Structure 1
Amino acid sequence: MTPSTPFTAHNIVLDDGSETKPGGQEPALDWWFDAARRCLSALYPDGFGNLRIADLGCLEGGFTVKFARLGFAEAIGFEVRPSNFANCMFVKQGLTLPNLHFVNDDVWNLEKYGPFDVIFCSGVLYHFDRPKAFLDLLARMTLRVAIIHTHYATVAPIAAYQLSDLDENEGLPGRWFQEPGSCSDHKWASWTNERSFWVQKEYLIQAIHDAGFPMVFEQFDHFGPDIAGELTAASPKHANRGMFVGVKDQAKVNL
């Protein structure tokens, strides 16, 4: 049993001890997952055994597998690109995790499968030309927590990326990003749109709130152990990328 195409990111250890990306994966992938795990453990101190989590744009399923191993009742990875989805199914076949599932569909069709207690949206939002509309969809399909790990725009030009001048889209300021090559062939690109809109950070936070998450906070431990170093670096490894958490009210008390 071999994957359809080489794995580009996730090194997953299968039941037979084999690895999907021998030699290891980028340390940041572990930092990002550990940050999400710490956040969810704080919000769900009694565990995840009755919860459904969706991992959007899951690529090769590495994070989805980790959520399944955490004990979620259902961990469902969504991947639209056929070559990536084939690798997800290769992983599924190599693991004994009955709570692990993958869906070959566009995340814009999320309403067909939700709602979910938790939605993990990592590396996805900045590939859309209508990010505000997607945040609204995300909020409708989230029962409590959405973790949004994404690039964002700033007022000052971003040296690390070739973005447009400041512009406005869906009533929000930001910058346009030209997606690389053929969207259908590039494993890390958008799916249908040829350019994507990165919302300016301050307005991204507001948009998450306005979509239906009264509590919004930025989580910094996704940078790994050297948070200050990453935040002050002249050329940070993951420039203009943040982890934003939206949490819905579970109970409103009349005071």
Structure 2
Amino acid sequence: MRIEYSNVGNLTELLQSMGKFTDKITLNFTGDKLYSIHLTEDKSVLLILELKKEAFNEYSVDENISISIPSDNVKSILGKFRRGTVEMAITNDRLRFVVRESKGVKNTVSVKIEKEEQQKIIELKVKSGFTFTLPDGGMLRRVVEDAGTIGETVKVEGKKDAVIFSTSELGKSYVAALKQGKPLESLSVEEEGYSNYAVEILDSTVSAITKLGKLEVSSGNNIPIKLKAIVSDFASLTAWVAPRA
């Protein structure tokens, strides 16, 4: 196995985002991609990390292998490196990272691994009613946080020309309308509809992926909301948050 990724800081952020939901990150190395899947114990959030082989400077995997690493080791081992390429290799019971910084400095670190069964790729067959994009998750997080000051559940509704976030409780209410250009980069509404989500769960999920890149969000009538952080054409972290009745 020989793998090289162009941005160690980016890889660290992706793994740390997964690590906010689990103590153990499973990494599946296959011939065409590196991926990781995690479903929270309460089944409220499904996370899918996908790095296709085209996302790497070099990607060669002789045979499929799945391993797990402790989440807290990601920050302690890789967190100090922000720039440079990173090579990955599995040797015995360890995953080795070779970081080459821009000034030519080479650092080698490793983390203990456990062998795992390959995770089955999950395809959620959900037809969304509306989709919108944002430059990142910052604005969406502020909206969800503001809603949380009023109620425990937020309604996400797709209208013809806007996505409405709203909640009300004890005589107080909150409404935020996100429109094309204000601040949405794009908005597509095939079918108007809405779903309700737990503010606490939605907020923690958006917070985990907010800095990764462009955010694509899809929802509809009583379906999971899909939050896809697009790092590049070939790298993404997708979170599905279950609706609340």
TM-score (norm 1): 0.28
Higher helix share: 1
Rg comparison, structure with higher value: 2
Q: Which one scores higher on RCO, CA 8 angstroms, separation ≥ 6?
A: 2
Higher strand share: 2
